[in-house]
A and B are shown apart, each in its own frame.
Chain A
Amino acid sequence: MTEMNMAHALNDALAVALADDDRVVMLGEDVGLTGGVFRVTDGLQERFGPQRVIDTPVAESGIVGAAFGMAIAGMRPVAEIQFLGFSYPGYDQIVSHVGRIRNRSNHRFTAPLVIRIPFGGGIGAAEHHSESSEALYAHTPGIKVVAPGTPAAAKGLLLAAIEDPDPVIFLEPIRVYRAIKEDVPEGRYTLPIGVAEVVRSGTDLTLVAYGAMLRDAGRAADALAGDGVSAEVIDLRTLSPLDAVTIVASAVKTGRVVAISEGHRTAGIASEVAAIVQEQALYSLLAPVERVTGWDTVVPLKRTERDHIPSVDRIVTAARRTLED
C-alpha cells in the first residue's frame, strides 16, 4: 500500500498497464510532453516513449476514431479527452461506431478501448470545463461508463477498464484529483466494473452517490450522525451498467433513499436510481425517493458555480425530508 491522491493513483494504473501489455497505447491532446492538463499522465511518455504515449492534434473525433481503429486491430488504446465538455466532437464516433461495432458485426469485430475524461466542476474553470453530462453516455448502448470517487477505486477500476473486452468511458472527478489521499494497493489490482460499493454502513437512510459527490455524501452522513441519524453511503462506481442489486438491498434495509448526482436533473443518473428503487423496493420505502442533483441549467461560471453543484446542506436537507413523519 502507498498513500496516493487520485491523479497519482491513475498515473500508477496507466504505468502498470503500459509496462505489462505491449498492446496498450495512450493518445490524446497534451498527454505526452506536458503529462496532460491535470498531469495525470506525467512522466509516462518519458518512460514509455512517444510511440506509446502519443500527443495528438486537437481533434476529439479523430482521437476517438483512431483509437477505435487501433482497438479493432488488436491494440488496447487508452484515449484521453481533456474535459467532458470537449468530448462532444467525438460523440458521434462513440455513439455511432464505438458502441456498435460488436453488435453490427455480431462479435466478429470488437473495440476494447478506454476513453478517459475528466468531469464535473468545482474548480472555477472556464465555460465547458465543468460539465457533468455523464447521463448522455450512460444512455448509450454498447459502452460501459465508470466514475470512481476515490484514489484506490480509480486505480482498480482503470486497470479493469483497460482489461475489459468492451469500450469503457472512464470519468475522473476533476476536483477530487488532488483533494483526497488514501492507501492504494501497489502493482496490478482491479475492481469489478458494474459493482457498487457500500462505503459506509447505516440503518436509517441510504445516500447513493458517485464521483466527486461521494465525498460530499460522506460529509452529509457525518452531519446526520451528529443528529443521531445513521446513513448508509453507496459509491456507484459504475454508471452503466448500474448495480441494481446493491442499490435495492440498501433501500430495502433502510427504507429511505437520497440519490445524488452533479449531473443535470432530467433523465439523469439520480433519476435512474430513483426509478430502480421505485420498481424493486417500493413496498419497503418509508418515504419518497429524493433526488439531489445539478439543475437543468447550463453550469454557472465560477462566481455562482456553487449554486449548481449539490452542497452538503442540500443533501442533509433532503435526507431530513425523508425522515419527516
Chain B
Amino acid sequence: MEPLRILEVDGHLLGPSPLPLEEIRRLFTALLTVRAYDHKASALQRQGRLATYAQFEGQEAAQVGSAAALRPDDWMVATYRDAAAMWMQGYPWDTLLLGRMGDERGGAPPAGVNVLPPSITVGAHMIHAVGLGWAEQMRGTGRIAITYFGDGATSEGDFHEAMNFAGVYRTPTVFVCQNNGWAISMSRERQTASETIAQKGAAYGVPGVLVDGNDLLAVFDATRDAVDRARRGEGATLIEAVTQRIGPHTTADDAGRYRDEATLEEWRQRDPLARVRRHLQAAGAWSEEWEHDVVTTAAAEIEAAVGRAEALAPFGPGAAFDRMFARPTAVLEAQRAALLGDGEAGA
C-alpha cells in the first residue's frame, strides 16, 4: 500500500493540486503560525509558565491539511497533541494556553466553535465523535465530526468500538490517525502487526486511506474526500497520515532513549513546511520578506494570546464546586463551606 502523495519533497506536484495557489499560500501561513505557537509553547514550558506540553512539530501538515477540509461548524474531537488542528477549527490560542497553564477555562472555546477540549486519556474519545456525528445525522444538520488520534491509540479497545459503531450506523465521522511513529517509546512496528493502520478500516466496512502525512495537499485531498463522503451520508473514513513527531512525547520525555538521530534526520528532510515553501518558490509565490512578515505577525498574535491567558486571574477558592453540575448539590455546598473555613463537620 503506497501512501497518497501529491506534493513531492522537492516541491513539485505529482498530480493536479486540489487547491489553487492562493489557498496554498494561505495554508502555508497557517503552517508557519502553528509552528511558531509550538515553539513558543515549548519555551513557555521551560520558563515554568506552562505545565507539561506535547509538541506537534513535524505533524503540522497532517493537522492543518485535514482541518482545512472542514466546515466551520463541524465537530472536532482531538488530543493533547492537536493544538494546530484545533486552532484551525476556531479554538483560540489563549484558550489552548489556559488549558496548559492548568485552568479549566482552557476547555471552553467560544460559542459556535464545536471543538471539545483535548482528550488526555488515549483512545476513549474517538467514540465521542461517532456519537456527535450520529446526533447530527439524526437531526439532518449536515454537520460531521472529525477525530484525531495517534498510532498508539489504535491499540486501545475503544478504537475498535468506535470504528465498529461508525461502520454499523454509517455515522458521518472522519477518523484521522496521525501515525507519528511513536507512542512515547513504543515504535509503530511494535504497536501492531498490521502492515498499515489504514487497512484496519476493512474489518469494519470503513474505507481506509493511507496518505503522506507530511504532504499538505495529499492530507487535504484525502480529508476533503472523507468529509464529502460523510456529508453525503455514505459513512465514515479512516485516514492514516504517516508522519513523525520531531520532538519528544512531551516536554517531560527524552526521545534520545529510544529513537536514533539518523531516523530523526531522515524525517527532518521531509519537513512538511519546507516542501510547501519550495513549491511556492518555484511558482514565484514566495519571498523571504513575505515569510518573515507572516512569522512576525503570528508571533505578535501568539504573544498577545499569552498575555491574555496570563492576565486572567485564577478561579477563586471553591469554584470547583460550581463546575460539577448545572447547580451545585447540597452535598457540594456543604463541602465548599468546609473548604472555605466552616470545618469538616457538616460536610
Q: A residues near B, CB below 8 A?
A: 25, 51, 56-57, 59, 61-62, 65-75, 77, 89, 92-93, 96-97, 101-110, 141-142, 144, 165-166, 194, 240-245, 279-280
Known: A69-B127, A104-B107. A244 touches B330 (CB 8 A): yes
A71 to B332, CA, bound (A): 24
Whether B132 pairs with A108 at a CB distance below 8 angstroms is: no
With a 10 A CB-CB cut-off, give which of A106, A166, A240 has the most chain B CB atoms. A106
Chain B residues engaging chain A, CB cutoff 8 angstroms: 75, 77, 104-105, 107-109, 111, 116-117, 121, 124-125, 127-136, 138-139, 145, 157-158, 161-162, 164-165, 168, 320, 323-326, 329-332, 334, 344-347
Q: Which of B132, B157, B325, B330 has the most A CB atoms < 10 Å from its CB? A: B325
Q: What 7 A-B pairs come out closest when comparing CB atoms?
A: A69-B131, A65-B127, A62-B161, A73-B135, A108-B108, A66-B131, A241-B329
Q: Is the CB of A75 within 8 A of B329?
A: no
User: By the criterion CB–CB under 8 Å, are A61 and B157 in contact?
Assistant: yes
Chain B residues contacting A75 (CB-CB under 8 Å) are 135, 138
Contact A57 B135 (CB under 8 A): no
Bound CA span A106–B323, Å: 6
Q: Is the CB of B116 within 8 A of A67?
A: no
Which of B108, B323, B330 is within 8 Å of A241, CB to CB? Answer: B330
The answer on a CB contact under 8 Å between B124 and A93 is yes
Q: How far is the CB of A185 from chain B (nearest CB, A)?
A: 26
Docked CA distance A107–B326 (Å): 8
Give the distance in Å from the alpha carbon of A70 to the alpha carbon of B164 in the complex.
17
Q: How far is the CB of A94 from chain B (nearest CB, A)?
A: 11
Report which of A67, A106, A245, A280 forms a contact with B108, defined as CB distance below 8 A. A106
Once the chains are docked, how many angstroms separate the CA of A68 from the CA of B119? 14
Question: Which residues does chain B contribute within 8 Å of A96, judged by CB atoms?
Answer: 121, 124
Q: Which of A65, A68, A97, A280 is B161 in contact with, Cβ under 8 Å? A: A65
Among B129, B135, B325, point to the contact of A102 (Cβ < 8 A): B325
Q: Give the docked Cα–Cα distance between A257 and B344 (Å).
A: 22
Nearest residue, chain A, Cβ from B334? A244
Cβ of A243: which chain B residues have Cβ within 8 Å of it?
330
Give the CA-CA distance A96 to B119 in the complex, in Å: 10
* Complex: A102 Cα to B124 Cα, angstroms: 17
Which residue in A57, A142, A166 is a CB contact (below 8 Å) of B168? A57
A298–B323 Cα distance when bound, in Å, is 36
**Chain A residue at smallest Cβ distance from B111:** A108
With CB as the reference atom, state the residue of chain A lying closest to B110: A108
A106 to B130, CA, bound (A): 23
Determine whether the beta carbon of A57 is less than 8 Å from that of B116: no
Q: In the complex the two chains form, is B162's CB within 8 Å of A62's CB?
A: yes
In the assembled complex, 6 residue pairs joining A and B whose CB atoms fall closer than 8 Å, in A order, are: A57-B165, A66-B131, A70-B131, A70-B134, A109-B117, A165-B326
A224 to chain B, nearest CB (A): 30
A57 to B131 alpha-carbon distance, docked (Å): 14
13 more A-B contacts (CB under 8 A) besides A61-B157, A241-B329? A61-B158, A65-B128, A67-B131, A69-B132, A70-B131, A71-B131, A92-B121, A102-B324, A103-B104, A108-B108, A141-B324, A244-B334, A279-B347
Given contacts A57-B165, A103-B104, A108-B107, contact A65 B326 (CB under 8 A): no
Q: Which residues of A sit under 8 angstroms from B347, Cβ to Cβ? A: 279
Q: Is the CB of B128 within 8 A of A72?
A: yes
Q: Are B330 and A245 in contact (CB under 8 A)?
A: yes
Q: Measured between alpha carbons, how far is A75 from B131 in the docked complex, in Å?
A: 10
A72 near B107: Cβ-Cβ < 8 Å = no
In the complex, which residues of chain B have a beta carbon less than 8 angstroms from the beta carbon of A110?
326
Distance (Å) between the CB of B50 and the closest chain A CB?
17
Complex: A107 Cα to B164 Cα, angstroms: 30
Shortest C-beta distance, A34 to chain B (Å), equals: 18
Residues of A within 8 Å of B121, CB to CB, are 92, 96-97
- Which single member of A56, A144, A194, A242 contacts B165 (CB below 8 Å)? A56
Q: Is the CB of A66 within 8 A of B345?
A: no
Report yes or no: A65 in contact with B131, Cβ–Cβ below 8 A. Answer: yes
Contact A280 B345 (CB under 8 A): yes
Given the known interface contacts A65-B130, A166-B325, the answer about A279 and B135 at a Cβ–Cβ threshold of 8 Å is no
Complex Cα spacing A166 to B328, Å: 11
Contacts of B116 in A (CB 8 A): 72, 101, 105, 109
Q: Is A66 a contact of B324 with CB atoms below 8 Å? A: no
